Amino acid sequence: MAELRQRVTDAFKSVQVEICDALAGITGQSFLEETWDYDTGSGGGITRVFAGEVIEKGGVNYSGVEGELSEKIAERMELGHDRQFFAAGVSLVLHPKNPFVPTVHMNIRYLERGDKAWFGGGIDLTPYYPFTEDIIRFHRSLKEVCDRHDRAYYPRFKRWCDEYFFIKHRDEARGVGGIFFDYLTEDPETTLAFTVDVGRSFLPVYLPILEKRMDSPYTDGNREFQLYRRGRYVEFNLIYDRGTLFGLETGGRIESILMSLPPLTAWTYNWQPEAGSREAEIYAMLKPRDWAGRTP
């Protein structure tokens, strides 16, 4: 188990470096880096934060921590009295400033308890304006990643994503989905390879969209709608997101955990899009559909 843990941490750290270097090269933005220690156990992490004109706020976090789970989490996970754990992961959220560039989330993680270990992760897209060709390309690229490992993965993990990133009190999805997987306990060699491949797929999956849209002209109205829709992102992350709750309940670093929240957002009372507008069109996309099989 110790050898697997080392390979996981080495691979995850490499994914963080590759993504940050590529983002800095494309956006021209540098990142603020902070290293931190896990106060309630051992280990720590590296937080890298972008803030500027292309990525208004974003972060790419690595963490590798070891400690003891709270009774509440142990009961939820049915762990009994054995509450010792090790967890490692890379978590990424980018909130671009341009309303025509979607917010994106990516996460890969590894959790170990005693002689048991499992992997999780995923990538999902949250556009503010509808560019169908971007969404189709995004899903097809993820399908290609999954198909390299198991052709059953994409339909299974796409469905899981649609179900997980759903804002129940709004009866709408957070975005247009992607893939999501958790508790993968199959052969650790093949599962590690798949999980790392998902992490490394972020660059070819998302960067073409960022490069294509980041200099698009937009209006104040476009920006206002983006801020309004960002409110949905905040609602999901603070109410439903398991990663956020796990980090808070295990005494994780607050700044790194809440890095996922946008820098600016808005809640406008009873706002409704104008019929036939581009703003109304995005709402029609916030339901599960077969994006990979669609024609642009």
Q: How confident is the model at residue 294 (pLDDT cuts 50, 70, 90)?
A: confident
Mean of the per-residue pLDDT values of the chain: 92
Q: What pLDDT is attached to residue 171?
A: 94
* Whole-angstrom distance, CA of residue 81 vs CA of residue 150: 36
User: Who contacts 233 (Cβ-Cβ below 8 Å, separation ≥6)?
Assistant: 103, 126, 174, 261, 262, 265
Instruction: List the beta strands (DSSP E) in 100-147.
Output: 103-113, 116-126
Q: Nearest Cα to 233, choosing from 283, 183, 174, 193?
A: 174
Q: Tens digits of per-residue pLDDT, 69-95?
A: 766 666 665 555 567 889 999 999 999
Q: What pLDDT is attached to residue 84?
A: 84
Active site residue 105: yes
Q: Tens digits of per-residue pLDDT, 107-158?
A: 999 998 877 899 999 999 999 999 999 999 999 999 999 999 999 999 999 9
Beta-bridge partner residues of 86: 66, 112
38 phi/psi in degrees, rounded to 5: -80, 110
Q: What pLDDT is attached to residue 78?
A: 53
Q: How confident is the model at residue 225 (pLDDT cuts 50, 70, 90)?
A: very high
Which among 81, 95, 105, 169 is annotated as catalytic? 105
CATH class assigned to 2-284: alpha beta
Helical (H) or strand (E) element with 48:
strand 42-50
Q: How confident is the model at residue 234 (pLDDT cuts 50, 70, 90)?
A: very high
